[in-house]
Structure 1
Amino acid sequence: MPKDLENPKFILLNVGYSELNANWNWKKIYSPFARIYYVSEGDATIYINEATYDLKPDHLYLIPPFTLHDDECKSYFSLYYVHFYEDVINRESMFDKYDFPIEIRATSLDMMLVRRLWDINPDRQLRDYDPQLYDNPPTFSQYVADNNKMSRRSKFETQGILYQLLSKFYALVKLKADSKDIRVNNVLKYIHETTENNITLTQLADIACVTIDHFIRIFKKEMKCTPLKYINMKKIEKAQLLLLTTDMPIREVALELSLDNISYFNRIFKYYTGRTPTEYRKIGNKF
């Protein structure tokens, strides 16, 4: 495990078991939380970034937060599922810095850990399997509230089990920056830890110790996008969490992220999520 991934704090949202029969078919799922699946029987498919993953029994699968993906199931399929998010305040998320493997072979201990997690959190199963019916502000807030009601003992054990399950994936993580350019990594760490600030190209070029033009070139080479696009993407990811986990007015969310122009905030929010901030919150009104 990388030495800098120390003491992450996870918030459990859901844990449960599902038996499905060709009714696990969802498109364009894009959630601010992570998922772990333990497949017990049958088979299904997940499509992520033009890659296809065939879900097989006795394997663990990890889908990081803010990962656009499709689910497909054509026959009987059963799995245990765990939904959680990383509580990150002014520090770099492990999912920001590292690419995690999607699939690993599970052990009998993994099965026991998932079942134990469900045993100590018996009322945290999904009420509905459609992501649009549970991936919305009112439902998300209820899951967070449920987490706050846990006993201290259950919280400790829940954290311990999540640590153990994720440790299997940690062993195979890779830096997201392909060539591991230390200049870009330093800039990424700064962006991730100061997302709420007004981050300028001058600041980032100074951190990289290069000119602005040269910085833009090396950043695009490493990250396949411009610095501004990456900064906006991270701001909108944080905006999604704020809209889901707080009752802050939309204007305050924008100001919290140093986006003073509310029209610009609305525009980039819709660009990344497909909805305006208002639509993102109102989606829960139909439930």
Structure 2
Amino acid sequence: MNRATVPPNFILLNVGRAVHHGDWNWRNVCSPFIRLHFVESGAAKLVRENKVYSLEKNHLYLTPAYINHSYKCDGPLTLYYIHIYEELSNQPSIFELMDFPVEMKADDLAIQLIKRLAEINPERELPYFDPWAYDNYPTLVKNIARQKTVPLAYEMEIEGIIKQLLSRFLLQASDKNVNIDNRIMQSLTYIRSHLHQPISIDVLAEICFLTKDHFIRLFKKNIGCTPGKYINEKKIEKAQRIMMTEDISIKDLAYTLGFENDSYFNRFFRKMTGENPGEHKKNMRMMAKSGDS
């Protein structure tokens, strides 16, 4: 991985210690933030990408943003949870470029860092553990805004702790595209910085000094899908982030992301997420209302 392509910037959203008694059972959780769990005692299961992971004592578990997953717990369980928002610039997310392990054993320092993070951020503990209560637009906005009110010393310590914890997983991560072509990486950078407008495959091919057909073949070989599919997926991911942080109409959102019309945007949004944008926005508002009660 080229370090110049990934300058990660992380914001702490939530941190705390939770004690469960067979009540940590949630299905189809999918959020725009990273989840990190440290199991202090007990047992449970994490279901992710058709795999079941048995959670073990003194182990860390990492779930990147936009990964659909579920939890199963039928007995006592004590864990620390950390929710982290990755601020993205025009570069790809570090999780797009690297395959991170899901679990790893926590060393003594990592455990101390997790407890320290919770100790200096008591106000970031969740009042409710139901994802439907906190995984919503108002809560996300409030938690991101809270970063600006943290004393600089704590802000630096918080970011340092987060990066140290994620670095444990990064040590065991592998490049998703070890031999990715520099021309394709250049096209990814262009896509990231132009999600607000229509992106022409012809222009991308021209940037890479390739014919259109050659560019499409090379892109698919390196990324695993066509450039058109990749572009639309990134636009929908950005649409989800915007809907979480801004009150915007679906029509304006479609135009903001360079879709020719909101009908096409609606179709592709539903294809990728399983619900149309209006339903998604309504569900977020319902979650927000639940979170305020």
Q: Establish whether TM, by shorter chain, passes 0.5.
A: yes
Q: Does 1:100 pair with 2:100?
A: yes
What is the alpha-carbon distance in structure 1 between the residues aligned to residue 276 and residue 104 of structure 2? Answer: 37
Equivalent residue for 1:267? 267
Equivalent residue for 1:130? 130
1:120-179 C-alpha deviation (Å, 9 max, x unpaired): 110112222222222121222222233333222221211111111111122222222365
Moved more, 83-92 or 144-153: 144-153
SS in 2 for 1:126: coil
Amino acid at match of 1:219: F
Q: Does 1:64 pair with 2:33?
A: no
> Structure 1: 5+ residue runs without aligned partners?
none
What is the alpha-carbon distance in structure 2 between the residues aligned to residue 96 and residue 194 of structure 1? Answer: 18
What is the alpha-carbon distance in structure 2 between the residues aligned to residue 119 and residue 81 of structure 1? Answer: 13
Equivalent residue for 1:83? 83
Q: Does 1:236 pair with 2:236?
A: yes
Equivalent residue for 2:31? 31
- Are residues 51 and 78 of structure 1, via their aligned partners in 2, closer, same or farther at CA, if it must alter by over 3 Å? same
Aligned residues of 1:13 and 1:143 also touching (Cα < 8 A): yes
SS in 2 for 1:4: helix
1:245-285 C-alpha deviation (Å, 9 max, x unpaired): 22333333322211241121122222222333233232223
Q: Does 1:120 pair with 2:120?
A: yes
1:47-94 C-alpha deviation (Å, 9 max, x unpaired): 222222221111111111111112112221111010011111323221
Amino acid at match of 1:63: T
Aligned residues of 2:35 and 2:62 also touching (Cα < 8 A): yes
Amino acid at match of 1:186: Q
Amino acid at match of 2:152: R
SS in 1 for 2:122: coil
Q: Does 1:173 pair with 2:154?
A: no
Residues paired across the two proteins, number = 287
What is the alpha-carbon distance in structure 1 between the residues aligned to residue 45 and residue 2 of structure 2? Answer: 30
Q: Percent identity?
A: 41
> Structure 2: 5+ residue runs without aligned partners?
none
Aligned residues of 1:254 and 1:265 also touching (Cα < 8 A): yes
Equivalent residue for 1:110? 110
SS in 1 for 2:92: coil
- Are residues 232 and 214 of structure 1, via their aligned partners in 2, closer, same or farther at CA, if it must alter by over 3 Å? same
Q: Does 1:141 pair with 2:141?
A: yes
Amino acid at match of 2:263: S
Q: Does 1:55 pair with 2:55?
A: yes
SS in 1 for 2:19: strand
What is the alpha-carbon distance in structure 1 between the residues aligned to residue 260 and residue 151 of structure 2? Answer: 40
Amino acid at match of 1:220: K
Runs of 4+ with deviation above 4 angstroms = none
Amino acid at match of 2:200: T
Output the TM-score relative to the length of structure 2.
0.89
Moved more, 163-172 or 136-145: 136-145
Aligned residues of 1:136 and 1:281 also touching (Cα < 8 A): no
SS in 2 for 1:156: helix
Moved more, 214-223 or 9-18: 214-223
What is the alpha-carbon distance in structure 1 between the residues aligned to residue 45 and residue 209 of structure 2? Answer: 45
- Are residues 257 and 193 of structure 1, via their aligned partners in 2, closer, same or farther at CA, if it must alter by over 3 Å? same
Aligned residues of 1:93 and 1:192 also touching (Cα < 8 A): no
Aligned residues of 1:178 and 1:222 also touching (Cα < 8 A): no
Equivalent residue for 2:21? 21
Amino acid at match of 2:170: Y
Amino acid at match of 2:126: L
Aligned residues of 1:136 and 1:244 also touching (Cα < 8 A): yes
SS in 1 for 2:35: strand
